[in-house]
Amino acid sequence: MDNRICGVHAVYEALASQRFPIERIHIARETHSSKLKEILVIARDRGVPVRKEERVVLDRLAEGAVHQGIIAISAALSYADFDVLFKPAKPLVVVLDGVEDPHNLGAVMRTAEACGASGIVVPERHSASLTLTVAKASAGATAYVSIVRVNNLVTALHDMKQRGLWVVGVDPAGTQDWTSFDYTGPVGLVLGGEHRGLRRLVREHCDVLVRIPMLGKIASLNISVAAGVVLYEAVRQRKATTTGTVPDHARYPR
């Protein structure tokens, strides 16, 4: 991952979560805000050096990114181990098949974190790397969401099934609407890339395919929007089980 974290919110979350080992912080001399003061307090308490710079120095470090007067330099964010996905009793895993736009990856991370997902699985090839752009687009979610990178996505899906997850592909070829599946158990949600959707082998290794109806003239949703639609249906159903209103959805044999 690019080791520059730009923006007030992203730097604050990186410091607060302690997932990022922050080496130092660069801050513009004329920048003042209550959130920046909070950042400086945390940095002081953790012994993180803070350098006050002219804004032109931050502009050069950011290389075109919006930095809001603050940039943190961190060690590289490593990918998580596969096992981290299964720590919750009922994992909710997001699998991305070929999402190459860093803005989309960051947006999906933000939504996944908001929905309490166990983590995100990406393939080694045909996937955006964990760059500065991803961190910025995630609005701080990179500090909390585990990203697992695998050599072979199909093999990873097989392993997820072996560990008890139902693998649900989101695809226009789905045989049922996204609201008709029971997401209250351990689930892996598989979403395709920006242009080609799910690859054939990935689609064939899903237990079930669900679709999001498109009622207008546009053929598909942005990947981050589609992820949000399905993830929040899972959240809705899971919350219903805690209130005793269990959704009457069928599970399908593999």
Write the burial class of residue 202 (CB in 10 Å: 0-12 exposed, 13-18 middle, 19+ buried): buried
* Residue-wise pLDDT tens digits, 46-61: 888 899 999 999 999 8
Query: Rounded CA gap, 172 and 10, in Å?
Result: 35
Q: Taking residues 73-97, report their average pLDDT.
A: 88
Label residue 7 left, alpha or beta by phi (over 0 means left) and psi (-120 to 50 means alpha): left
Bridge partners of 231, per DSSP, are none
* Residue-wise pLDDT tens digits, 90-143: 999 999 998 989 899 999 999 999 999 999 999 988 888 777 678 778 888 888
CB atoms within 10 A of CB 52: 12
Query: Rounded CA gap, 173 and 233, in Å?
Result: 19
- Do residues 109 and 142 touch, judged by C-beta distance below 8 A? yes
Output the pLDDT for position 254: 47
- DSSP secondary structure letters along 103-115: HHHHHHHHHHHHT
Which helix (H) or strand (E) segment holds residue 22: the answer is: strand 22-28
Query: Rounded CA gap, 203 and 191, in Å?
Result: 10
- For residue 241, the SS3 value is helix
Q: Among 1-5, 34-38, 64-68, 221-225, which stretch is predicted with the lowest mean pLDDT?
A: 1-5
What global pTM score does this model have?
0.72
Could you give the domains of the chain? 4-74 (3.30.1330.30), 82-242 (3.40.1280.10)
